[in-house]
Amino acid sequence: MSPKVWLITGCSSGFGGLLVRAALKNGDKVVATARDPKKIDDLKALGAATLALDVCDTEENIRKAVADANAAYGRIDILVNNAAYILEGTVEESSASEVFKIYNTNVFGSLMVARAVLPYMRAQKSGTIANMGSIGGVRGTQGAGLYCSTKFAIAGITESLKSEVAHLGIDAVCIEPGYFRTNFLAPGHRTPTAARIADYDPVMEPIRNIFDTYDRAQPGDPERGAQLIVEILTKSGRVTGKEVPVRVPLGSDAIAFISAKAEETLQTMKEWKDLSSSTDHDDVKN
């Protein structure tokens, strides 16, 4: 199998840098990006090409950065939209500017980069677009509603995209990790809303305490997670011969979390089937 060429966003923290290392170890070529490429000089030293790419930049600048990424090795086989952060606060506490900022990074940025990469993948009739989702995209959680909603959006976009590009030889995958021991829950990555409303303290204080306690105590090993993601996106190693689903859970907690949600959904469908179906026209056969 010939080496793949990766383009990865948000490589200065979280899964980004670990994915770069895992892909290079796999013998692949990587274009690693960050808003400040000096922050990923360690990845450059390992053999990655590095570029400045801010997913919140203008469409023109993002397209130019992607063109430079494509020129680095003459193609892009795998795009990983990894740049994201969590906004900590209730729905009411989240200001309009804070809502726009998290959507701009977590959703609009991923869309912009994907749209910039797709013309190259269409031309070569191959490629994989991987969007980093989350178990938060399966169930909304108090205190993280805006973050969860961005991951719901990412999952929906990925499912639709997969159907749109399959006939072009392109695949789309949404990776949905549980909690991994990265810096994602650390200060600076977990951004609190500026507003604090005392009425919400009974639901927010437990969440803040859980985040603080869970930081650096998450069950997932990020290096093992990055290695599996590489195998998933290159369909190699343990994933050889497997059909990769459009939404892939990552971590034992993700399996438990998503399974519980699926069971609840099925139970709701059973309980509400007759009442919900009563709205059909009389000539509709159930």
Could you count the other beta carbons within 10 Å of the beta carbon of residue 195?
A: 13
Eight-state DSSP code of residue 156: H
Name the burial class of residue 63, with classes exposed (0-12), middle (13-18) and buried (19+) by CB atoms within 10 angstroms of its CB: middle
Structure token digits, residue 73: 């090795």
Respond yes or no: is residue 200 known to be catalytic.
no
CA distance 81 to 9: 6
CA distance 21 to 32: 10
Residue in 73, 147, 179, 200 annotated catalytic: 147
- 3-state DSSP call for residue 42? helix
User: Tell me, what amino acid is at 75?
Assistant: R
* Residues recognised as catalytic: 147
